[in-house]
Amino acid sequence: MRVGVLALQGAFREHMATLARLGVEGREVRRADDLDGVQGLILPGGESTTIGMLMAEYGLEDALKQGSLPMFGTCAGMIVLAQEIVGSTQPRLGLMDMTVDRNHYGRQRESFETEVAVSGLEHQVRGVFIRAPVVTRTGPGVEILARHDGEIVVCSEGRCLASAFHPELTDDTQLHRLFLDRFVG
């Protein structure tokens, strides 16, 4: 199995390391031809506006908007997957019928870690929330997998999985394994 990690900006190295721990071949994706031979793609945390602009600049936006590749977006990756972003017209893929509120939990200094119970996982996941978004609206095809303080923080639709927090910044591989087993498998 070979899984790509969007390597334009953000926490892509940490996702590559998590894939390696799971025995999965990871490939850094910077251009559309880097997608050849990958069975899934991880969209890392980082700065969602920058990621969106760079996807367009490097010819990835059109290739990814087809939606044929399973995708896992964490933090900024969740924002990029959303159809709507509160108060923003920034570039996005729009593959998930949801609205997200960027930086919902505040600035960098309001970042926190907590345990999150995710539907379908045996154990809680350690969630690292750094200027994290939340989902404020979901369409009928979106499955809500986890909430924190009532807010939607993990969901899926079709071939996409999205998390408001950074699982790649912990030793916990459960969400990556869920993506690989359920969406890429």
Q: Which of 75, 104, 155, 157 is catalytic?
A: 75
Task: Give one DSSP letter per residue of the chain, joined into a string.
Answer: -EEEEE-SSSSHHHHHHHHHHTT-EEEEE-SGGGGTT-SEEEE-SS-HHHHHHHHHHTT-HHHHHT--S-EEEETHHHHHHEEEETTB-------EEEEEETTTT-SGGG-EEEEE--TT-SS-EEEEESS--EEEEE-TTPEEEEEETTEEEEEEETTEEEESS-GGGSS--HHHHHIIIIII-
pLDDT in tens, 108-132: 667 899 999 999 999 999 999 998 9
User: Over the stretch 20-29, which tens digit does the pLDDT of each residue have?
Assistant: 999 999 999 9
pTM of the full predicted structure? 0.95
pLDDT range class, residue 105, cuts 50, 70, 90: confident
Split at pLDDT 50, 70, 90, the class of 107 is low
Residue 75 among the catalytic residues: yes
Question: How many separate domains does the chain show?
Answer: 1
CATH number at residue 157: 3.40.50.880
Query: Residue 111 has what pLDDT?
Result: 82
The confidence score (pLDDT) of residue 66 equals 84
Question: Whole domain around residue 83: which residue ranges?
Answer: 2-184
% of the chain beyond a pLDDT of 90: 86
Q: List the catalytic residue out of 15, 157, 168, 176.
A: 168
